[in-house]
Amino acid sequence: MTEDILLKNYTTFKCGGNARFFDEPTNEQEIIDDLKYAKDNNLDVFVLGGGANCLISDKGFDGLVIRTAGLAEEINITEDGDTATVTAGAGIKLISFAVKVANAGFAGTEFATGIPGTLGGAVFMNAGAYGGEMRDIITKVRYIDGDGIPHEVGGDDLKLGYRTSVFAQMARQGKVFVITGIEAKVRRGDREEINAKINEYKAKRTASQPLDVPSAGSTFKRPEGYFAGKLIDDTGLRGYALNGSSAQVSPKHCGFVVNNGGKASAQDVYDLIRDVSDKVYGKFGVRLEPEVRIIGEFDGMPDVNVMSFGFKYGEPAEADLVFDVRTLKNPYWVPELRPLSGLDKPIIEYLDGFEETEGFVEGLIKDTSDAIAKRPDGAGKFTVAVGCTGGHHRSVFCAQRLAAGLKASGYHVVTRHRDILKDNADG
């Protein structure tokens, strides 16, 4: 483990500050040691793969960055008739993985032969292109949780959807984990057809994407019913730069924000992303959300105050949005949990033990993001209050998860638990 490491050279945007602590583990035990160190020292953790889908603040990351490039477990292809099972480490480059599978005569990875980043990052965001996605081939994923415990998840439990997965959901909820390896299923194909697809996709990328300029690929998620690049183009922002910055909407593909010459700061890129989103919203009423992960603190981040409270003590008058979480199971009725709060691990484990909890929390995050997006400036100070009966158990748990999700989405979040120290009767 090292300290004060500049991160810009580890990202495809070629900008960003220093990591307070930095490590490149090569096996699961080293990951477990890293996670224990972070937990013992109360450090935030950011897992960095190929650095192809993130924007790291110029102020750096005040925690531990775990770079997974060392998890380059060999790609193994086990054939079984017309299909094959492929296993690989999460730190392997996605392009290397895709090309090796294709060269072995198996179809299914052609879409990925031009996507930068690592296997772990590709699973995290369910990377895709030209009609193919990781969910078409991935069957199992190995990961280690924040307590250093290995897990394996597969099938529908991976929750692979458009640029999301169970791991993206876990990150939004503030959970710490490191993806370590994957298993995929592919089918035998015609080599000429496989190579033809790869060459076709390569030609399309070269013709339409700014591959020679630092970027993080597609900058914005595709809004339902629209294409981000077309909305940006129709807003008149092709080639747009803010205040002469080297950060620019690519003249070649409006869905890409690029860093010309690697001269723009992360703040320059962030400001442009926000400005483009605001301008598109102003013209079309559609709020573009970043596909790139926003890591660390940036000037001008939208301010959100998240507050837990108890309905028995009254709703906060300052709240712009109020959630009632009393439909969740109440830990109050478990005697040994009654004296605890939603910050305590036994309460967290209790509420996480119910299938409906995860979807409920995801709904809180989405509804809050939607409410903020509808504001004219998409920013400003916004206060959301999360209430249960006494403001001690469920509201605290949900407020913490909501705050983590908003922070992961690029908001500056301040959390307060108004009634946590009051009488915890009724939870």
Catalytic positions, written as ranges? 163, 218, 291
Q: How deeply is 227 buried, as exposed, middle or buried, from its count of CB atoms within 10 A (0-12, 13-18, 19+)? A: middle
* CA 279 – CA 302 distance, rounded (Å): 16
What angle, rounded to 10 degrees, do the helices at 355-373 and 345-352 form?
100
What are φ and ψ of residue 88, in 5° steps? -165, 160
